[in-house]
Amino acid sequence: MKKQFIILAALATLVIPTVCMATPPRPGPYVSGFIGVNFPQNADVASYDYYTGDSFNDRVEFDPGINIGGTGGFDFGFVRLEGEMSYKHGEMTTITDLSGVRYRNIDGNLGVLAMMGNMFFDLRNPSPITPYVGGGIGLAVMHLSDTFGTSTFDNTRPLLYREDDDAVFAYQVGAGLEIALNRALSLDLGYRYFATSKARFDSNNDIATDLKFKSHNAAIGFRVKF
């Protein structure tokens, strides 16, 4: 995680001399690409084993993961409308059953492919740095892998969640800074809070798993206007 922050900071530092001489960005159509870090929040997971009839309620913790994507839209001057596609990934680190059983050495992950429609409000000013705020709604296709963990209670390693996909509603809110390098190219430093409705993974009809995905996301990107 430290390496990811160092790379983001280095990229931002390299453009500071250019920003001082840049002109404010101009309206028009644009495309952008970004990469950054995704910090998934702890998730409350409910699962049901169809074979045994047992229900489980777990708390899942994740490692930070990648946040990558791109956008295309139109800048009207003070309002931007855009479509966004992004991918977020989280590796599970620990799973704790509410009964007190804890699982370690987790082998499982959750991936989220999001397709969003966004609206952002640009706070224009004479400088080349434009703050913005906004958000969006859309669809998230979530992929849950087969997930195994070693129980600290009896040292067994059961299958906790079964691999499956589900598509659910998603939303995000955020803010950032657009830093104009020239009239066509801008650096974008952004934060997004991203969340989904509850997904159900049960296509194999042996283990059903319900969860929501929520995360904090920081990214650096470049925006090109035409």
Give mean pLDDT, residues 54-74: 96
Q: Is the pTM of this model over 0.95?
A: no
pLDDT tens-place string over residues 165-205: 999 999 999 999 999 999 899 999 999 999 999 999 987 77
pLDDT at 99: 83
The DSSP bridge partners found for residue 34 are 69, 221
pLDDT at 19: 43
Q: Which residue has the tokens 């001057």?
A: 77
> Looking at the 3D structure of the chain, how many domains does it have?
1
The SS3 of residue 75 is strand
- Residues 49 and 56: their CA atoms lie apart, in Å, by 8
CATH number of the domain bearing residue 12: 2.40.160.20
DSSP state of 19: H
For residue 36, the one-letter residue type is G
**Which residues span the domain enclosing 211?**
2-225
- Residues 66 and 3: their CA atoms lie apart, in Å, by 12
pLDDT at 25: 58
Tokens encoding 1: 């995680």
Helix H, strand E, coil C: the string for 103-170 is: EEEEECEEEEEEEEEEEEEECCCCCCEEEEEEEEEEEEEEEECCEEEEECCCCCCCEEECCEEEEEEE
pLDDT at 17: 46
pLDDT at 207: 87
